[in-house]
Structure formats: C-alpha cells, structure tokens
C-alpha cells in the first residue's frame, strides 16, 4: 500500500477514534528548554513577553555565574514546585507540563517519577513528560515502572505522558502499545513528531493515526532531512502541522502544544535572549495560524 493510500484509508478511522462532539482546546505553550543557556527567570519573562499564556518547565538553566542548574531538582520539596508555579502565574503563565528528567529504564526511575508526580500535583501541573533511552532494551522495566506509578499519578490529578524518543518509545505506534499494556488512564502519550522523523526517519503523519486516541499533548518540534539532518522550530521543517493536528481536533480536551524547539535550521543558535524571544513569538504565531485555520475549517463542515 502506498503511503498516500494508507493515510487516506486510515485518517477517518483515526479521527473517529479520537473525536468527541466538542473541539479540542489547544493550549499554546513554550518550554523553557530553548532558554537553557539563560537564567530561569529570564526564560519565564521572555516566554510571557512572547505572548504565551502557558509554559512547560524545561530541564536546566545557566545562572548568572554561568553554572547550569536544574529548574526544579528531582529531590525538591513539593512546596518548592508550588512556589515556582506561583511565580509563573504571577507572570501570566499557566504551567501545563514538566519533565521527569530520568529515563524510564533507569535504576532510580520509579522513586524519581513518584517525587516528580508529587511536585506536579503541588504545582497543579496536569502533565508529567517522560521517555526512555534512545536505544532499545529493558522493555519490561520501562513498562513495569509506568504501571507502578500510574495509579499514584491518576489519584494525584497528574497524567504521565510518554513521548517518542527512539528505543522502546520510538514511534506513536510503539507508545500506543505501551499505553495498552499499562492499562491505566494515568499514562497517555505526548506526541513528538520531530523525534519520529529524526530518530526513526519515519513520516509522523501516518504514525500519529495509529495512536491519536491516546494523545493528550504534543511536544512541538520540526525536523529537516534536507539539506541537513537537523531539528528545528515548527514551520521550518518538513512536517505538515495541519495534517498533524487534524486527527485530534475533536477530543473535547485541553491539549498543550508545548514548543520544545523553536530554532531556525542551518544557522547558529542565538547568543542573546532577545533573539530567542523573537523565535518563540514566531512559533506561537505560526501555531496560532494552524489552529485558527483548522478550527475555522472544522466549524464550517
């Protein structure tokens, strides 16, 4: 079967599986990750100034001395997470996602994830983002750890979302299999189309159709294979975001679109935070156009 034939045949089925009567409420967010070279506070003020209402907490940020420090350490108290969330909200940013920062196959994966769930609950962050190693192996450990944390997450009002990252979770289809094995609504999928095209060299559009009903968020990045194999910001690469988001237009859910990569391909990364601000604003405007167009078209049907 040709790819075009597959997409044409599978698209209505995927949409039917993912749809409810209500349109999805997409939440355009920027991760602090693109600001990792700058202090955390500068990341938050830049994201707010770029027009976002939602933020996803990244991993590390360089402080004034140039030292890279965790945005929120794995052993930080839940009260520290709540305080950071309050700072975000004071800036007009609602935190919607945070990184677990440990692979699901790691020896300490379960205790770290359970602490992260506590932090997310204290901060009123609905999604904890996690993934495994980029190489395959330890599949049973991967799944067992998710099963062990799923109930705690669900009871805490947090959904653990796995994203594509090579290895055990290389594709949406692989993630859907994992979600089915865990069999708990505390674990779902955050779809990362850029990683599917990058790590697997696979078209993310038909792949998304295999897992659309389990998707609760997106890690937004694009990717180019030509003229250089490189991740980039949305709209700079080879992924059609209209096709990517259309299968999840009628979930009736709040669904974050969290920008993980906002950078231009082929050129050096910005050296000044103001340049990152401009790229963050461009990514927001691009995604707003996509969502606005899709929503208008859907309502006109």
Kind plus residue range of the DSSP H or E element containing 216:
strand 215-220
Both tokens of residue 298? Answer: 């859907």
Q: Are 71 and 59 a contacting pair, CB within 8 Å?
A: yes
Predicted confidence (pLDDT) per residue in 92-104, tens digit: 999 999 999 999 9
Q: How confident is the model at residue 12 (pLDDT cuts 50, 70, 90)?
A: low
How high is the pLDDT of residue 20? 65
Kind plus residue range of the DSSP H or E element containing 27:
strand 25-31
What percentage of the chain carries pLDDT values higher than 90?
A: 92
| Of 65 and 256, the one with more pLDDT | 256
Predicted confidence (pLDDT) per residue in 238-293, tens digit: 999 999 999 999 999 999 999 999 999 999 999 999 999 999 999 999 999 999 99
Residue 190 and residue 131: Cα distance in Å, rounded? 10
Residue 264 and residue 221: Cα distance in Å, rounded? 11
How high is the pLDDT of residue 6? 47
- The number of beta carbons lying within 10 Å of the beta carbon of residue 183 is 9
Predicted confidence (pLDDT) per residue in 33-59, tens digit: 999 999 999 999 999 999 999 999 999
Residue 65 and residue 254: Cα distance in Å, rounded? 38
Instruction: State residue 65 phi and psi, 5-degree precision.
Output: -85, -5
What the chain holds in terms of domains, given with CATH numbers, is 26-300 (3.20.20.150)
Residue 237 DSSP label: S
How high is the pLDDT of residue 19? 60
pTM of the model: 0.93
Strand, helix or coil for residue 218: strand
Residue 79 and residue 77: Cα distance in Å, rounded? 5
Residue 13 has pLDDT above 70, yes or no: no
Angle separating helix axes 172-182 and 139-155, nearest 10 degrees: 60
What percentage of the chain carries pLDDT values higher than 70?
A: 93
- Across 139-171, b (16+ Cβ under 10 Å) vs e yields bebbbbbbeebbebbbebebbbbbbbbbbbbbb
**Structure-token match 């359970």, residue found:** 114
């Amino acid at each position: 079967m040709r790819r075009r034939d597959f997409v044409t045949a599978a698209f209505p089925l995927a949409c039917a599986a993912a749809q409810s009567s209500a349109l999805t409420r997409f939440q355009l967010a920027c991760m602090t990750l693109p600001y990792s070279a700058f202090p955390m506070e500068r990341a938050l003020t830049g994201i707010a100034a770029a027009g976002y209402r939602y933020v996803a907490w990244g991993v590390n940020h360089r402080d004034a001395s140039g030292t890279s420090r965790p945005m929120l350490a794995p052993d930080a108290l839940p009260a520290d997470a709540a305080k950071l969330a309050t700072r975000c909200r004071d800036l007009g940013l609602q935190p919607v996602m945070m990184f677990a920062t440990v692979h699901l196959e790691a020896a300490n994966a379960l205790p770290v994830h359970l602490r992260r769930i506590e932090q997310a609950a204290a901060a009123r962050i609905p999604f904890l983002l996690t993934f495994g190693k980029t190489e395959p192996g330890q599949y049973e450990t991967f799944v067992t750890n998710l099963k062990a944390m799923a109930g705690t997450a669900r009871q805490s009002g947090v959904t653990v979302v796995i994203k594509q990252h090579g290895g055990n979770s290389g594709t949406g289809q692989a993630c859907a299999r994992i979600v089915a094995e865990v069999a708990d609504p505390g674990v779902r999928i955050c779809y990362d189309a850029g990683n599917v095209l990058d790590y697997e060299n696979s078209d993310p559009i038909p792949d998304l159709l295999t897992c659309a009903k389990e998707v609760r968020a997106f890690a937004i990045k694009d990717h180019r294979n030509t003229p250089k194999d490189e991740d980039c910001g949305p709209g700079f690469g080879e992924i059609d975001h209209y096709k990517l988001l259309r299968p999840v237009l009628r979930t009736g859910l709040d669904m974050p679109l969290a920008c993980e990569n906002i950078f231009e391909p082929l050129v050096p990364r910005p050296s000044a935070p103001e340049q990152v601000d401009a790229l963050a604003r461009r990514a927001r405007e691009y995604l707003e156009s996509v969502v606005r167009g899709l929503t208008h078209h859907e309502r006109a049907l």
